[in-house]
């Protein structure tokens, strides 16, 4: 379980293809605090630490992970958002994030507005039903509030300078592919009412 509050960014050192998917090597600032088997959200996708060498941490990415997320597009030198699994004694500042990416979306507009940025992202229509104005969604592991819900899965966000600079968002371009995880509570509610009917 995560909160969607990105701790820092890491640098991809290598993406090595293997028979079952790929093996990612990422330089992580908090590598010294990790142990084998720990969970780390990489751009919102929950991955398991498999090897630690200094500040370089290795993760196995299954074929399913590469199919559903944008992680397969990562290349050496790219930055990625990082968050460790939440602790039972920590503050809960974002929203419930499972680290189970539902699909990908695409950045359609980036507009500087004063010190902030207005960013529009189109998500698949199948997941739009889980979104509401002022509701939460996870974009590349970042817990964001939907400022405006448009048609055909178009969502608009207002990004503060803190989030813009401390995450990979400042590297977004029109057409950038992003990982999305919709609100898990909305999915539970839908499943509950579907079962009742």
Judge whether 60 lies within some domain: yes
The verdict on 123 and 184 lying in the same domain is: yes
CA–CA dist 58, 51 (Å, integer): 5
In a domain, 16, yes or no: yes
- The CB density around residue 161, as the number of other CB atoms within 10 Å, is 12
Phi and psi of 169, rounded to 5°? -60, -30
Per-residue pLDDT tens digits for 32-54: 999 999 999 999 999 999 999 99
Is residue 29, in this structure, part of any structural domain at all?
A: yes
Examine the domain organization and report whether 112 and 175 are in the same domain: yes
Provide the residue range defining the domain that includes 31: 8-84
Per the structure, the count of domains in the chain is 2
Look at residues 84, 116, 146 and tell me which one is the last residue of a structural domain. Answer: 84
Whether 179 and 119 map to the same domain: the answer is yes
Q: Are residues 27 and 54 in the same domain?
A: yes
Kindly report the pTM of this predicted structure: 0.93
Q: What is the pLDDT of residue 160?
A: 97
Across the chain, what does the average pLDDT equal? 94
Looking up residue 64, the CATH number of its domain turns out to be 2.40.30.20
Q: Which pLDDT does position 178 carry in this prediction?
A: 98
Confidence of residue 89 (pLDDT cuts 50, 70, 90): low
- The last residue of a domain, from among 57, 84, 111: 84
Same domain? For 43 and 112 the reply is no
Say if 93 falls within a structural domain. no
| Residue 97 within a domain | no
**Percentage of the chain surpassing pLDDT 70?**
96
Predicted confidence (pLDDT) per residue in 116-130, tens digit: 999 999 999 999 999
Label residue 148 by pLDDT band (50, 70, 90).
very high
Region 144-155: what's the mean pLDDT?
96
Predicted confidence at residue 121, as pLDDT, reads 98
127 and 54 in a common domain: no
Query: 151 and 68 in one domain?
Result: no
Q: Is 92 part of any domain?
A: no
Residues 47 and 121 in one domain: no
Question: How does DSSP classify residue 153?
Answer: T
Q: Give the pair of three-digit tokens for residue 162.
A: 């803190």
Q: Are strands 56-62 and 116-122 parallel, antiparallel or unpaired?
A: unpaired
């Amino acid at each position: 379980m995560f909160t969607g509050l990105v701790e820092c960014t890491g640098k991809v050192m290598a993406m090595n293809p293997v028979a079952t998917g790929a093996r990612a090597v990422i330089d992580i600032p908090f590598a010294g605090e990790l142990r084998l088997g720990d969970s780390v959200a990489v751009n919102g996708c929950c991955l398991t630490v498999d090897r630690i060498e200094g500040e370089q941490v290795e993760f196995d990415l299954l074929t399913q992970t590469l199919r559903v997320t944008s992680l397969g597009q990562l290349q050496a030198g790219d930055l990625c958002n990082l968050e460790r699994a939440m602790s039972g004694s920590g503050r809960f500042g974002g929203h419930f994030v499972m680290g189970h990416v539902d699909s990908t979306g695409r950045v359609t507009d980036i507009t500087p507005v004063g010190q902030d940025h207005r960013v529009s992202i189109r998500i698949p229509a199948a997941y739009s039903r889980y979104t509401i104005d002022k509701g939460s969604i996870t974009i590349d592991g970042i817990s964001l509030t939907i400022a405006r819900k448009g048609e055909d899965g178009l969502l608009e966000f207002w990004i503060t300078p803190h989030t813009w600079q401390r995450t990979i968002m400042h590297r977004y371009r029109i057409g950038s592919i992003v990982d999305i995880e919709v609100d898990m509570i909305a999915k539970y509610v839908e499943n509950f009412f579907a079962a009742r009917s």
